[in-house]
Chains A and B, each alone.
Chain A
Amino acid sequence: MKNIKLIKRKVSTLILIPVLIALTVATGCKKGAFDINNNNPNKPTTVQTNYILSAALTSTANLMYNGNEDILDNWIGYWTQSGAYTASNTYVLYQLTSGTGSGNWDGAYNNLSNYNNLLNTVGTDGNLGTYRAIGMIMESFVFQRIVDLYNSAPYSSALKLNAQYSYTYDSGSAIYKSCISKIDSAVAILKSGATNINLVNPAGYDVMFSGHTDQWIKFANTLKLKMLLRQTQSTENGSLGDAAVKSALAGYTTSDFLGAGEDASVNPGYSTASNSQENPLYADVVKDATGTVTGDEKYYRANAYAVKFYKTHNDIRDSAFYLVNGDGEIRGRVYGSTDGSEANSVISALAAYGMNPSATEDAPIIPAFESLFLQAEALQRGYITGATAGATYNSAVAESFRILGLSAAAAGVYTSQNDATTNFAMASDKITLIITQKWAACNTFDPLESYSDWRRLNIPASIIDNLSIYPGNQATHIPYRLPYPTSELNFNRANVPDGGTGTESLTSKIFWMPTITGRD
C-alpha cells in the first residue's frame, strides 16, 4: 500500500515533466520563430544600381563571346573544326536542332532581364538619367542581335510577368522600329542630362565608357546606323529600303559616330584570377585561368577560306587571327573536310584578338573599325556627310590593323597596293570593296555583322566556297537564321511563328533580307 502511494505522488510530479515539455514545444517557440525564413542569409534582395549596370554590360560581352558566336564564325569562313575530332553533323551537314545556338536566345533574354531590372530600379529618377539611357541603348543592342539571328521574337510582351507565361511575338521590323526610336529617346536623355548638376555618373561601373556620355551618344548613333543599313536592300516585310534609310539618317555626320580609336568595348577588370574573370573569348578559345589550353582551342582551328583570302591579298592580319602551325606556316582547313590527317599540329590555331592575345583584353561590343566601315558604306551611299567614303574606308582598315596590334603604316601599304580588293581607288564596286574588307576585319570580332552583310548583300559572294564539303551535305547555302530554341518550343509553343525551326532555318528569312538571285 505504501508503495502505491509513493508511486501516486510520483505520478503527480512525473506527469508534469512531459506536460511542461509539451507546453514548451507548443508555446515556447518565441514570437517570430516561424518568421526565420523572411530574410535570406545567403543573397541580397536589393543592390546598388551600379552593381546592376556593371553586371549587365559584362554579361553582354559574354553573350557575344562565350561560345554563342562559334557557329557564326564557322559558317562565315573564319573558323572550322579540327581534324582531330569526329565531325559534328550540326556543323558540317547543317542539321540544326532546336538546341543549336540556343544560348544566343536564352542568354540574350537573360541579359535583357538585367537591363530591364536596371530600368525598373532607376524608374523616372531624373538624376539617374544616364543609367536609364544606357539601359535603353543596350536593350536595343541586344534586341537587334535577337532580330538579326531569329527575326520575329517577343518584344512588347517580353520581360513582363503574365499568369499564362505566354509571350507573343512581334515582327522583326516592329522590333527594329521601336528600338530605333528608343535609341533616339536615349540620346535625348543623355543630351539633356548635361545641364543637370545632380546627375549621377556611373563612372567605373560603366565598364564600357566609364561614364563618358558623349561616347554613349556616339555608340547609340552607331547602333542606329547599323540597324538602318541592314534595311537598305528591301522594302518588303517592313524593311525600310534605300530611300527611307537615307531620310532617317538625314543630318547625321561622321562626327556623330564612333570614330578612330573609339572602340566600344567592355572590361570590368579581366584577368587570369579565375576562368570567369578572363576575357570571355580568351577563356573560350585560348586558355583557362591556369594557363591550360581550352577544349575549344583544340576544337576550333583556322578556316582555309579566310586563310586563302588573307594570303591572296598580302594581308598580314592572317598572323594576327591565326597562329603558325608546326611547320611555321599559317594553314587553314577546308570547311567540312574529312581529311583526318589535318591534325592540330598541321592546322593553325586561333589567336583571338590579334598579335598579343591576353586574358586581360577588352571585349569589343562595336569596335571602331566596324563603325568606320558602317560610315564608309553610308557615305558611299550618300546617307551621311562629313568625310569621303574612301578616306573613311582607309581609316576603317587602319583601325582594324590597330586593334590587332599592327601598324598604321602596314595598313597603308595594304590599302594602297595594286589590288582592287584592298585599294579603294581601284575598286570598281565600292560597296563590295567596303563590305568585303569589313568581312576581313570582323574575323572573330563580330561574325554576326559579317553574317548579316552576306545575308543582305551576298558579299563576299565567294562564301559559297566555304560551304561544307562533308559527304552528304545537301545545303546549297549557309542557313539564313538560327532555329527557335527548345525552350520556346517547349514553354511557349503556341506563340512560336511557323517556320524557323530546324531545317526551315535554311530558307526562312530575316525581315530585312532581299531576294538574291542564284542564292535563294
Chain B
Amino acid sequence: MKKLLLVSLCFLMLCITQVFAQNRTVTGTVTASDDGQPIPGVTVKLKGSSIGTQTSVAGKYTLSVPNGATLVFTFVGYTPLELPVGTSAVLNAKLVPASKQLTEVVVTSFGIQRQAASLGYSTTKVTGADINTAKPISVANGLTGKVSGLQVNTINAGIFAPTRITLRGNRSLTGNNQPLIVVDGSIYYSDISTLNPEDVASTDILKGSSASAVYGSDASNGVIVITTKHGAKQTSVTVSSTVDVETVSYLPKEQDQFGSNGGEYPVGDFSKFGAFGADGTYHAYYIPYENQSYGPLYNGISVPLGRPLADGTVEMVNYSPIKNRNKDFYNTGITTHQNFSYTGGDNTGSFYMSFQDINSTGITPGDKGHRDILRINGDKTYGIFSASYSATYTNEVKNTTNTGGVYDDLLESPLFVPLANLKDVNSTYGNPSSYYNDYYYSPGEIIASQRYLSDENHINANVALNLKPWKWVTLSYRSSIENIQTRYQYEQAAITYADYTQTADTIVYANPLGTGIVKAEDSGTKYSATNQKGQYAMYNFGNMLFTSDFLASFNTKFAKDFSFSGTAGVAYMYNRITYDYVNAGALITTPYNVGNFSNASSIGESYYAARKLGYFGEGTFGYKNYAYLHGSFRTDLDSRLSKANRYIPYYDIDGSVVLSEIFKGITDNGILDFAKVRYAHSLTGNVSALAGGSQYIAYGAYQTKPTLSAASGFPFSSSGLAGYTLNTTIANPDIKPEKVTEDEVGLDLGFLNDRINLAASYYRSTTKDGIVYASISSTSGYNTALVNAANSENHGLELDLKGTILKKTNFSWMMGINWTHQTSKVNSIVSGVNALNVGNNSYAVVGSSYPQIEAYDWTRDPANGKVIVDANTGLPTRASTLSVLGQTNPKDILGLTTTVKYKAFTFSATVDYRAGHVIYASDLGTTLDHSGNSITSVVAGRQRFVFPNSEYLDASTGKYVANSNVEVQDGNYQFWPTLYQSVGANYVFSAAAWKLREAAITFQFPKQWIDEVKFIKGASFAVTGRNLLMFVPSTNKFTDPEFSNDTGNGVGTTGLGQAPPTRIISGTLSVTL
C-alpha cells in the first residue's frame, strides 16, 4: 500500500521521458532489500541522459540502452543505486531503504512537498493505516496518542462524538485554538469527522506556527495536512465491513445503603420506615414518590413505589438496591461501517472513488445516527500539463434525545427503583402520570418526547491545474468550494396528565414495621402534574467557503553545491454564513411545523461574510545535502479589519543542518546513522477571537462598529412598539491581529540503520496583543470590550521515539513513545482585569497557566488551609468569592504505541496518559449529592461527624483551634444536598488518566488460502477495541476526565450532558479484489 502511495506522489513530479538512440534492450526486476518484494514505480534512468522509464506494478522494467551504459535506479525512500549494464540482457536491482529522515517527503502548506531533512521545524507523519488501526469513525480518534504535541479530547460518548484538537496547547485566550485542517491542499471547514478515515493516505501534522506561517492568520495553531488516497495503475476494489459494539464502561460511583426520603420528615431511625411522633401522628421516613435517597436503610422487603394509579393499585417493589441498575439501563450501541473503494489508473492518470455508510445506534435508547460519505478524485497528465480534481459529499443525520435528562433520571433515582423497565413510555409505570417520581419525567418519557434532529450536508470539491513549462518552474492553480448546510430541529411532544394525577389522591406508605402499607393522612396532587404544550424549534445553518490560490514554484541548482526551491503565490478566500432560526415555540398540534405554533414565535436571521487575500512567498536554500535555510513571508488583506490594520506581515525563518552528512565519521560505528539539528522562528497572527473562537472567518465580520439590537420583547406585538438597546460589547475599529511569536529548536537522530528514531523539540511561543472580548466592569455600561491587550506564553518539550525492537523474517516488534510536556502562563489580560471567563467554569487568570477552573470553595483559614467551622454547629461555610482551583490542560501527555507482527497476525495498541490537570464534574457531583446517591454522602453513615481537616474559633482565647470534637449538626438531609452541594470545589479533582485507547489484532489471509478464488487479491479480518481500559485516581468518582461540556476553550467542565464513557469492540472483514 505504501509503495503504491509513493507512486501516486511520483506522478506529480513526473518528467517526460523521451526515448531515442536505441541500441539494445535490457529488462529486469527491482526489489526491495528488506522484504524482497518488487517495487513498482522505480525510476530507471540511463546515467547522464534523460532517457528512462519506470517499473511496472510487478517491479519490472524494460529499457533500450547503448553499450557500456550505467543505469541509475531511484525511488523515494530508498538509496539511489547505480549499476553498469554488462552483457546480460537481464539486470535486476535490489534497492536498500534509505535513512527515512533524509528522504521522507513532507507535505507542507498549499500542498508544497519538502524533504524532511530540509525542515527547520517539527512535523510528524501518521499514515492512513495507523489512523485506521482500530477503525475509528473520525480521523481525530485515529490520531489520539500517536503524536507528541497533539491533544485530542473526545468530549462525550454520544453518536458521532465531537472532538477538540489542539497542537501545542492554546495560543489565544478567546480565539480559536484548534489547528487548520487542509485536505489535498484546500482548507477544510467542516468538522474533521465528516471525512472518511478510510480515504486518508497520510497526515502531516505541522505542529508549530513556523510550519504554517504561509497560511497567514488562519493557521497560527498549526495545520493538519491530510493527503487522501489516489488511484494507482493497478485496478483494485476493496470492500470492507465493520461492526462496532459499544457498551458503557464507567459510571459514577453510587451508595447502595439508603433509599427514598427527600426531607419530608427528618429520619429518626434509619432502620425503620417511619414512626409515630409525640403528637401521635405517623411520620413516614420512607417516601414512595421521592427522587432523593436520604431515607431508611435498604432491607429487602416489599414496599409501595410511587402514587396509586387510577384504579387505586400501587406498584410494589423490593426495597433493595438493584445491582448494575444504571449500567443495565443503557443499551449496547451497534455501529456498522460499510466501505467500498475503487482505484484505477494508467500512465497518465488515476482515478479513485469510495463510499462509506455508517449506521449507528447509541447507548442511550433511541439515539441513532447515519453517515454517508462519497468521494471521488482523479488526475490526468497531458505532457507538461496536468489536472486533478476531488469531491466529497457527506450526509450526516442524527436523532438523539435529551441525554442529560435521561442521565439525570438515572443518577437521581434511588437504586431500588427498577428504571431499566421504564425505557418505554408505554410501559405501565413509564408514562408521566404513572411514573413513581413526583418531580421528573420517566426516562422513557424523555426519550419518547424530547428529540434533537440534525441533518448535515457537506460538499467539498476542488480542481487543480498544474503546468510545468520548464524543468525548474511549476505553475499551479487550485480552486475549492465547500458548502455546509445543516438543519437542526428540536421536537418536544405535548404532555397531558391523566385526570387522577390532578386530584388530591391518597399517598401510600410502607407501615412502620415494613409489614404492609398504610394510607397516609396527607395527600396532594402529583407535584409535576402540569400539562405541557408541544414545542418546536428549528434552525438552518449555511456555510460556504470558496478558496482559490495560484502558486509559482521554482526549483533550481546553481553554482556546484547550491540549490534553491521556492514558491510565490496569492491565495483568496471568501466565506459566507447564513443562519435562520425559529426559537422554540408552543404548538397547538403536531406535526412539528412552524405553521402550527400557538403564538407568534420569535424568528431571526444572521448573515456574515468576509474575504481575505494573502500574498506570500517562501524559499529554501540548500547547500549540498546537509544545510538548509528556509524562509517564508505572507501578508493578508482582511475585510474584517479596518483599512489601517489590513496589511499585517507574517514570516518564518528556519534552518536545518544534517550533521551526519557533514561529519560522516560519526556514523562509522554503525550506531548513529542520522543526526540533524534545526531551529525555527516565526511570527504569525490570528484574528479568530473576533469570530468568538470559531475558525470560520465570516463570524469575525462586523466587529469594528457599535450596533443596537431589538430589546427583549420588542417589538411588542400588541402595541407594535419598537425598542432598541445598546450592544453590551464595545466595538473596536482599531482591532488588529494578535501576534504569536514562536521559537523552536529540535534534534532528530537515527540509530542502528534507522531502527530507532528520536525527534525532540523545544518550543516557546508568546502571544502579544491578544484579542480578547475582555469582560469589564459593568459599571462602564458595557459587559465586554474588544481589545488587543492580552499577553500569554507557552513552553513545551516534545519527544517522539520510535524503534523496531525485533525484526525477523516472520516476526517483528515496533514500539513508539511520544511525550509532551507543556506549560503556559497568562501574563496580562487588560489592565485592572485579573480574570476572564473563557467558557463554562474556565478562566484565564493572570499569573497562572491557561485555563483555570474557578468555583466556590469552603471558607478556609489562609494560614493553614483548614476549613473553618462554627464552634457550635460544626458547620463549615461556603466562601463568598470564587477560588482558582487548577488548570484544565494536562501538563504531561504520554503516548505509547506498539505493533507486533507474527506471520499473518498483526497486533497493535495505543496507550496514553495525561496528568497535571483537573476537571470539574459540576452537575454530576451536585446531582449525586442532591439525590443522596453519592458515595461521599455515606462516609459517616448519614450520622453527624467532625468535618475533616477543620478548625473553629475558640471563643475563650479568640484563636482558631483544630477541630476534633465539634460534629456537624446533621449528617443527612440538612447537610449533603444543601451546604455540601453548594461548594463547587468538592467536585474539582485530578483529571489524570491512563487509557488503553486502541488495541487491534489483524489476520491477513495467507495467499494460498485465497489463491483458489482468482479474483481475490487479499483479505483480512481484524478485531479491534477502542477505549478498552481507563485508570483514574480514586478522587475521580464520576467520569472520563476527557469529557467536556463543549469543544470550546473552556475545557474542563463536564456534566450530565455527556453520556457515560463507553468501550467499543469491533470486527472488520476486508477484501481486496
Contact = CB atoms under 8 A, between A and B. Distances in A.
A110 B776 CA distance: 12
Contacts of B608: 42
Nearest to B700: A37
A486 B984 CA distance: 15
A90 interface: yes
B685 to A, nearest CB: 17
A104 to B, nearest CB: 11
A338 interface: yes
Contacts of A59: 711-712, 725
A54 B714 contact: yes
B953 to A, nearest CB: 12
A490 B791 CA distance: 18
Interface in B683-719: 701-702, 704-709, 711-714, 716-719
A202 B703 CA distance: 32
A164 B685 CA distance: 24
B880 interface: yes
Interface in B716-730: 716-728, 730
Contacts of B610: 36-37
Contacts of B292: 86
Contacts of A196: none
B724 A165 contact: no
B611 A268 contact: no
A105 B783 CA distance: 12
Contacts of B775: 487, 490-491
Most chain A beta-carbon neighbours within 10 Å: one of B609, B711, B973: B711
Given A29-B613, A86-B977, A153-B779, A117 B726 contact: yes
Given A22-B550, A36-B611, A98-B881, A45 B779 contact: no
A47 B710 CA distance: 10
B262 A340 contact: yes
Interface string A478-490: 0000010111111
B894 to A, nearest CB: 35
A491 B776 CA distance: 5
Interface in A51-93: 51-52, 54-56, 58-59, 62, 84, 86-90, 92-93
B524 A345 contact: yes
Contacts of B561: none
B465 interface: yes
Interface string B524-541: 110100111100000000
A346 B507 CA distance: 14
A159 B727 contact: no
Interface stretch (A248-256, A289-297, A302-310, A348-356): A289-297
B639 A158 contact: no
Given A270-B716, A343-B527, A114 B831 contact: no
A18 B467 contact: yes
B880 A503 contact: yes
B707 A43 contact: yes
Given A34-B611, A292-B530, A84 B719 contact: no
Contacts of A7: 383-384
A271 to B, nearest CB: 4
Interface in A468-499: 470-472, 474, 483, 485-494
Nearest to B930: A86
B724 A44 contact: yes
A41 interface: yes
Given A274-B599, A292-B533, A489-B881, A472 B873 contact: yes
A26 B572 CA distance: 8
B777 interface: yes
Nearest to B716: A269
Contacts of A485: 778
A385 interface: no
B714 A338 contact: no
Contacts of B598: 290
A112 B713 contact: no
Given A10-B383, A159-B779, A164-B832, A293 B530 contact: yes
A112 B780 CA distance: 10
B628 to A, nearest CB: 28
B467 A158 contact: no
A290 B615 CA distance: 56
B781 interface: yes
Nearest to A87: B978
B102 interface: no
Contact of A167 (B702, B712, B779): B779
A165 B830 contact: yes
A109 interface: yes
A17 interface: yes
B974 interface: yes
B542 to A, nearest CB: 14
Interface residues of A, number: 115
Contacts, number: 347
Contacts of B785: 161, 165
B469 interface: yes
B782 A113 contact: yes
Contact of A54 (B721, B877, B977): B721
B600 interface: yes
Contacts of A166: 777, 831-832
A95 interface: yes
B385 A14 contact: yes
Interface in B870-895: 870, 873, 875, 877-882
B477 A502 contact: no
A105 B777 CA distance: 10
Contacts of A116: 781
A87 B550 CA distance: 66
A96 interface: yes
Interface stretch (B263-271, B345-353, B652-660, B1009-1017): B263-271
B245 interface: no
Contacts of A26: 550, 570, 613, 615
B783 to A, nearest CB: 7
B991 interface: no
B723 A51 contact: yes
A33 interface: yes
A228 interface: no
Interface in A257-316: 268-274, 276-277, 289-293, 298
Contacts of B455: none
A36 B475 CA distance: 31
A335 B929 CA distance: 23
A159 B708 contact: no
A273 to B, nearest CB: 4
Contact of A18 (B465, B600, B702, B777): B465
Interface in B455-503: 465, 467, 469, 475-477
A424 to B, nearest CB: 41
Given A271-B716, A340-B265, A112 B978 contact: no
A283 to B, nearest CB: 9
B57 interface: no
Nearest to B882: A486
B970 interface: yes
B646 interface: yes
Most chain B beta-carbon neighbours within 10 Å: one of A41, A268, A485: A268
Nearest to A18: B477
A54 B725 CA distance: 9
B702 A37 contact: yes
Interface in B315-332: none
A113 B982 CA distance: 33
B586 A277 contact: no
Given A88-B982, A89-B979, 10 more contacts: A7-B384, A36-B701, A37-B704, A43-B709, A44-B724, A58-B714, A165-B832, A292-B533, A471-B970, A488-B779
Q: Which 3 pairs between the two chains have the least Cβ-Cβ distance?
A: A502-B880, A269-B719, A113-B781
21 contacts: A25-B550, A29-B572, A34-B638, A40-B707, A43-B709, A55-B723, A88-B982, A93-B978, A95-B979, A109-B778, A161-B730, A161-B785, A268-B713, A326-B504, A344-B527, A345-B504, A470-B974, A472-B875, A487-B778, A491-B774, A491-B835
